[in-house]
Each structure stands twice: as structure tokens, then as C-alpha cells.
């Protein structure tokens, strides 16, 4: 499968993209993140405007947010490892701590030059995951920065790429499906070697002659409830206008246009959906898969 644009799908409105970038333009990685491992392979450059992670045969690297969040709209622009990135994984996710942790995952599985990356998504609640959906992207994610977003509110989680929703995980506690809503999460990212499984199930190994492999980040924005000292910066069940310049995300759902975009992605670019993998669940598909 090759990268291509599609005439079936309308281009994003330039104004919407411009507003997103403007909202994030004030971010400074020095203020928002700590590089947590990699022995110098992670770097904050350009006066805090760009963060890079690198991987070589000795080690990868990673960072985490200074803040914890309990609900929010999180945006980050990434430019992925170019060229032959087989065996590498760039992970970008939210996660809490403990044995019954919650987690919301983007993982980008590297591939041979010319082949598309696989975007792997997953949702963990109370330590239980196994909710993978995988996609090809409709562009080459290594030639420029693209915006990867997580909208997380009490009703739903929406994964988006350049403001195009690719996946929605709804709160279905009413049918016994746990939903991440009580544990604050930090933002994490790492670039690491996973050539035992990442590319074609581990058949294609990392070519270390191509190292160091580097991924780049910019324009972080969190319109979110910050968790500190056991309390949320959002004082009530929804953020007030005094704590957020734009709190629509707290009750946001997809309108008909967004739903059409979601369907377009899932019909044309989804390559794996746990909800259709009957062999994996011989006792029956998970409860959330049975809901329309």
C-alpha cells in the first residue's frame, strides 16, 4: 500500500489547522516535559520549541510530562523516523501508575523504506488492554510534522490525526466495561527497538547501519485538567470558563461530519480491529464490540 491523498475525502479547513497550531505555539518543552532516559539521546532544542528522541544500538530514549492530567484534549505534532525504520517503535501515550493502570496509546511501528508505517492504538482500563486497532496513514508521516490528538473526557476517548478522528472508545460502564476516569495520567513518549515483533511480526530486523534513528516533536498543547496534590485544576464536574479558555472538549462528541471522517478512515485505512477478531476471543467478542 502506498501513501496517497484521496479525492473521496475533503481537505481539512486551513483555518482549523491554523487555529490548532496557534493554540500550541506558546508551548516550551523545558516547561512541560522531562527527558527521563536515554543518556543524552533525548534533546530539547530551538529554545524549547522542538524535542527529539534518538535510538542507536546501545539505547533508545524517552520523556514524560511534568504534569498529570485527569481528562483533557492533548495535541502533539510528530515527525517520525524516516527511511528504513524497520524494528523501531515510537510510542506516544497517556498512562497512570500501578497494577490496575489506565492507558491511551499511539504507537508507530516502523517499516522498510517505501512501506507505510502502522499506527497501533490501544486503550487500557484498570490494567486490562487487548483493545488494539491498527491503521495505515494516508500520508507519509516522516516527511513533515502531523498532529496526533487524544480527546479524553468522561464520556469518550477520541484518537485523531490532523483533526481527523480515527477511533472512538465510548464510556460503556453501563454494560460493565471499565472506563478510564479516576486515575490521573502523564504523557509519555519513547523511541525504542522492538525488532522481535514490531515489523512483520519480527521478521524484519533493525538495520543498525541506519542509526541513529530520530523522531521529532513540536507544538504540544494540553487543554486539560491538571491533577496536583490529590485535586484537579477543574474545580467541578466540568471546567469553568475561568479555568479554561476553551472547555468544549469536556463534553465534546463527534458531529455528523466527524463521524463521516471516522468512517472514511476505518473503511479505507484500518488494517486490524480487535472487535472483528473472533479467533482471538473464542468465548465471544468483548462486550463493547457488541454495541452498535
User: Is 107 in the active site?
Assistant: yes
In a domain, 12, yes or no: no
Looking at the domain assignment, is residue 15 inside a domain?
A: no
Res. 17: pLDDT tops 60: no
Whether residue 20 is contained in a domain is answered as no
Catalytic residue check, 288:
no
The answer to whether residue 137 is domain-embedded is yes
Q: Kindly give, in sequence order, each residue whose CB lies less than 8 Å from that of residue 227, ignoring residues fewer than 6 positions away.
A: 67, 68, 69, 70, 184, 233
Question: Which residue out of 103, 132, 168, 173 is catalytically annotated?
Answer: 103
What is the rounded distance in angstroms from the CA atom of residue 271 to the CA atom of residue 290? 20
Question: 65-118 pLDDT, tens per residue?
Answer: 999 999 999 999 999 999 999 999 999 999 999 999 999 999 999 999 888 999
Q: Which of 49, 68, 107, 132 is catalytic?
A: 107
Which domain CATH number covers 280? 2.60.120.200
Write down the pTM of the prediction.
Answer: 0.88
Residue range(s) defining the domain that contains residue 140: 29-228+251-290
Q: Which residue carries 479555568 as its cell? A: 243
Query: pLDDT for 218-256, tens place per residue?
Result: 999 999 999 999 999 986 555 554 444 458 899 999 999
Amino acid at each position: 500500500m502506498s501513501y496517497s491523498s484521496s479525492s473521496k475525502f475533503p481537505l481539512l479547513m486551513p483555518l482549523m489547522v491554523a487555529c490548532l497550531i496557534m493554540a500550541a505555539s506558546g508551548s516550551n518543552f523545558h516547561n512541560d516535559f522531562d527527558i527521563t532516559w536515554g543518556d543524552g539521546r533525548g534533546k530539547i532544542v530551538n529554545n524549547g520549541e522542538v524535542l527529539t528522541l534518538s535510538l542507536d544500538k546501545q539505547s533508545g530514549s524517552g520523556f514524560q510530562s511534568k504534569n498529570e492530567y485527569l481528562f483533557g484534549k492533548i495535541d502533539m505534532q510528530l515527525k517520525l523516523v524516516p527511511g528504513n525504520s524497520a524494528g523501531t517503535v515510537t510510542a506516544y501515550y497517556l498512562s497512570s501508575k500501578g497494577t490496575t493502570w489506565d492507558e491511551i496509546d499511539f504507537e508507530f511501528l516502523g517499516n522498510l523504506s517505501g512501506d507505510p508505517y502502522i499506527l497501533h492504538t490501544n486503550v487500557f482500563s484498570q490494567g486490562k488492554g487487548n483493545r488494539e486497532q491498527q491503521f495505515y496513514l494516508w500520508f507519509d508521516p516522516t516527511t513533515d510534522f502531523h498532529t496526533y490528538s487524544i480527546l479524553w473526557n468522561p464520556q469518550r476517548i477520541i484518537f485523531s490525526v490532523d483533526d481527523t478522528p480515527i477511533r472512538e472508545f465510548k464510556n460503556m460502564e453501563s454494560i460493565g466495561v471499565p472506563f478510564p476516569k479516576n486515575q490521573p495520567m502523564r504523557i509519555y513518549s519513547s523511541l525504542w527497538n522492538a525488532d522481535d515483533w514490531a515489523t512483520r511480526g519480527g521478521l524484519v530486523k533493525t538495520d543498525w547501519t541506519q542509526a541513529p534513528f530520530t523522531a521529532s516533536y513540536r507544538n504540544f498543547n494540553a487543554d486539560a485538567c491538571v491533577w496536583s496534590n490529590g485535586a484537579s485544576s477543574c474545580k467541578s464536574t466540568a471546567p469553568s470558563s475561568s479555568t479554561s479558555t476553551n472547555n468544549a472538549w469536556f463534553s465534546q462528541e463527534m458531529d455528523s461530519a466527524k463521524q463521516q471522517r471516522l468512517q472514511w478512515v476505518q473503511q479505507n485505512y484500518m488494517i486490524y480491529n480487535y472487535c472483528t477478531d473472533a479467533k482471538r476471543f473464542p468465548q465471544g467478542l468483548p462486550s463493547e464490540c457488541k454495541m452498535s
